[in-house]
Structure 1
Amino acid sequence: MKRRSFVKTTVAASTALSFPFALPANQNSSEYTISELMGKEDIPLFGKDINLREEAHDAFVEMKKAAYQDGFNIKMVSSFRDFYRQESIWERKFIRYTEDDGMSPLNAIDKIIEYSTIPGTSRHHWGTDIDIIDGYPKTNGGVLVPEKFESGGPFEGLKKWLDEHSESFGFYLVYTDEPKRRGFKYEPWHYSYAPISIPMLTAFRKKNIVKLLQNEEFIGSEHFTLGFLKSYIRDNILDINPKLL
């Protein structure tokens, strides 16, 4: 597999990956298919336990190397996730909340979309987004917990390093802690490779997302109203780090 070095020096990285980004070679937003955007198409993925598009993979490897030199071991928790994997996550949560916890269907949906996407709308479908932690500190319980990235948490050091360096490799925090931001809750572990994810989001926004979702059938989708889907698109898909729009 051919590797490409994205970052030679801090200055070069800042220059080459400064915002706004150029589209990948021979690629523009109109070339992404609906099935590709919704995670229903097999796409080439690169790297053992990395599973990203080639350019995103190469940039991630460079970022991981740089972090390692500074004492952090970036560990991939999640990257590419297809439609059907997202569907299973959604349905498992919906059943648990409604049957085990006794929630109404609408309350269950509101609970799910605090952190999980409707199948077909996940950024993880694109092969550009990653959930990462520091593999060095020992910790108990779930790792994708905001408090573990805050002061005193096991991943505090990595989060500070990412705040300073991730954008020079093209990776931007998606769901920030901006107080006025709506939609998904703060996810200090979720980063997106902007040079590819920006044109993919542009392509997705040009589709009739409401109609696409109305055509899908999975457990709980019968409770989606037109108003809910419109607010979900506005708040959960589009109310993100403005640098990724």
Structure 2
Amino acid sequence: MKRRTFIKKASVTSLACAFPPIIPKISDPEYSVLELMGKADIELFGEGVNLREEASIAYGKMAKAAYADGFNIKMVSSYRDFYRQEGIWERKYLRYTEDQGIQPLDAIEKIIEYSTIPGTSRHHWGTDIDIIDGYAKVSGDVLVPEKFEAGGPFEGFKQWLDENSERFGFYLVYTDEPKRRGFKYEPWHYSYAPISIPMLTAFRKKNILRLLENEDFLGCEHFTTGFLKSYIQDNILDINQDLL
């Protein structure tokens, strides 16, 4: 069972907006394969936050600043271990292949529009968050790009994030850059760069292709070497360039 230590969120004044964006730390700590793939028992902090300690403190400061400006940041998702991601993947795979009759390869392509292959999710690291404005009146699915655009319930919140999130170290991961490949635009997904950058660097040093070939979950028998190489290049690495 994951250990969770709850911390009191650090306060932040309106003067926080006067500071420049946090510069990611230059470090190269050791991260195990199990840790990078969401299979290790890591310590998580913050009640209802569940991030690594430094990321949790930064999130608390950002949430307080947003609150002062009329937004109530609500955490939709943060840390997810390998096995939870595996469950998400397999439910979607079964829904597409069995319920909708989609061929396996087409089902996999549909899944990776938004969902990661288990073991490759940035949410495994305790650095990434999916967030919305809890004050906004909204119905149905909340993690929909249109709801963050002009006229959508999260339009103002997204503008606030665009102007302020990097001050606290949080960077949008999957941007709306027209030439970007891989996962579709996710205006709700932010990453705490001071930790996630060195974690991605460590992950890239591993033989990701071999790691994925050794897994066993529904649909993985259809993974080809070519598919996995494209997935690594497009879905893992074609992200906001500030996070590389």
TM-score grouping bracket, smaller chain normalisation: over 0.9
Match in the other structure for 1:232: 231
CA distance in 1, matches of 2:106, 2:64: 43
CA distance in 2, matches of 1:177, 1:72: 23
Give, in angstroms, the shift of residue 10 of structure 1. Answer: 2.9
CA distance in 1, matches of 2:188, 2:210: 31
- Find out whether 1:9 has 2:16 as its counterpart: yes
The 4+ residue runs of structure 1 with deviation greater than 2 A are 1-11
SS of residue in 1 equivalent to 2:45: coil
- Tell me, yes or no, if the aligned pair for 2:51 and 2:126 is still in contact at 8 Å: yes
- Distance change (3 Å), C-alpha of 1:242 and 1:135: same
SS of residue in 2 equivalent to 1:132: strand
- Distance change (3 Å), C-alpha of 1:194 and 1:6: farther
Q: Which amino acid aligns with 1:9?
A: A
Tell me how many residue pairs correspond in the alignment: 237
SS of residue in 2 equivalent to 1:31: coil
Q: Which amino acid aligns with 2:17?
A: T
State the Cα deviation string for residues 136-166 of structure 1 (Å, max 9, x = none). 0111100000000000100001000000000
SS of residue in 1 equivalent to 2:89: helix
Q: State the identity %.
A: 73
CA distance in 2, matches of 1:65, 1:6: 6
Give, in angstroms, the shift of residue 29 of structure 1. Answer: 3.2
RMSD: 1.4
- Tell me, yes or no, if the aligned pair for 1:128 and 1:197 is still in contact at 8 Å: yes
TM-score (norm 2): 0.94
Match in the other structure for 2:82: 83
| Alignment of structure 1 residues 12-23 onto 2, 5 Å | 13-14=19-20, 17-18=22-23, 21-23=24-26
Unmatched tracts of structure 2, length 5 or more:
1-6
Match in the other structure for 1:31: 30
| Alignment of structure 1 residues 50-89 onto 2, 5 Å | 50-89=49-88
Q: Which amino acid aligns with 1:148?
A: K
- Tell me, yes or no, if the aligned pair for 2:49 and 2:75 is still in contact at 8 Å: yes
Q: Which amino acid aligns with 1:109?
A: I
Give, in angstroms, the shift of residue 2 of structure 1. Answer: 6.8
Match in the other structure for 1:43: 42
CA distance in 2, matches of 1:64, 1:217: 39
SS of residue in 1 equivalent to 2:190: strand
- Tell me, yes or no, if the aligned pair for 2:17 and 2:164 is still in contact at 8 Å: no
CA distance in 1, matches of 2:125, 2:47: 17
- Tell me, yes or no, if the aligned pair for 2:193 and 2:243 is still in contact at 8 Å: yes
CA distance in 1, matches of 2:40, 2:171: 25
- Tell me, yes or no, if the aligned pair for 2:73 and 2:131 is still in contact at 8 Å: yes
Give, in angstroms, the shift of residue 71 of structure 1. Answer: 0.3
- Distance change (3 Å), C-alpha of 1:6 and 1:198: farther
CA distance in 2, matches of 1:133, 1:2: 21
Match in the other structure for 2:191: 192
Give, in angstroms, the shift of residue 14 of structure 1. Answer: 1.0
TM-score (norm 1): 0.93
CA distance in 1, matches of 2:138, 2:241: 32
CA distance in 1, matches of 2:12, 2:181: 33
Give, in angstroms, the shift of residue 101 of structure 1. Answer: 0.6
Match in the other structure for 2:4: none
Give, in angstroms, the shift of residue 5 of structure 1. Answer: 6.3
CA distance in 2, matches of 1:5, 1:155: 24
SS of residue in 2 equivalent to 1:14: coil
- Tell me, yes or no, if the aligned pair for 1:5 and 1:58 is still in contact at 8 Å: no
